[in-house]
Structure formats: C-alpha cells, structure tokens
Amino acid sequence: MKIEMRNEDKHLWITMGDPSTRNQAEVIIDLEHLDIRINDFRRSIVKVRLESDLTVKDVLNNDIFVGMH
C-alpha cells in the first residue's frame, strides 16, 4: 500500500496491490476539485462528485452518469 498527500493536503492518493502485475486499486480524494475517484485498473473508474459542503452531488462510472443524491 502506498499513501501520498499532494497539493498542500488537498489531494490524498491511496494505491493498493501489486504495481508489477497491474493488480491494483486506487482511491483518490481530491478536495481541490471536490471529487473522489476509485480505479481498479481493469474495468472501471467510479467518480463521486461532491458539493461545496462535501455532500454527494452525483456519481459517474467511466464518465457515465449513474445517479445523484
């Protein structure tokens, strides 16, 4: 597991798994752009976009809208 903080604590990047086999997953929490991205490197990227008060605005899967709060 690898955990990185970027952009003065507004961007948390967590990578889990084996990078040599691409059997990984990432969770990226980006408070600068108000979103959370979950990437499994095989099938999909789920993005949860947040409102300014950090409530859920909507959810996208591979940039396709799938729901909103």
What integer pLDDT is reported at residue 41 of this predicted model?
78
pLDDT digits 0-9 by tens, 5-56: 987 778 999 988 887 777 889 999 999 999 999 998 777 899 999 999 999 9
Cα separation, 37 vs 59, in Å, equals 10
What integer pLDDT is reported at residue 69 of this predicted model?
64
What is the pLDDT confidence band of residue 61, given thresholds at 50, 70 and 90? Answer: very high
- What is the bridge-based pairing of β-strands 23-30 and 2-6? unpaired
Q: Give the type of residue at 2.
A: K
> What separation in angstroms does the CA of 22 have from each of 27, 42, 46, 58?
15, 8, 18, 28
Q: Please give the distance of CA 53 from its chain centroid, rounded to a whole number.
A: 18
What integer pLDDT is reported at residue 7 of this predicted model?
74
pTM listed for this prediction: 0.81
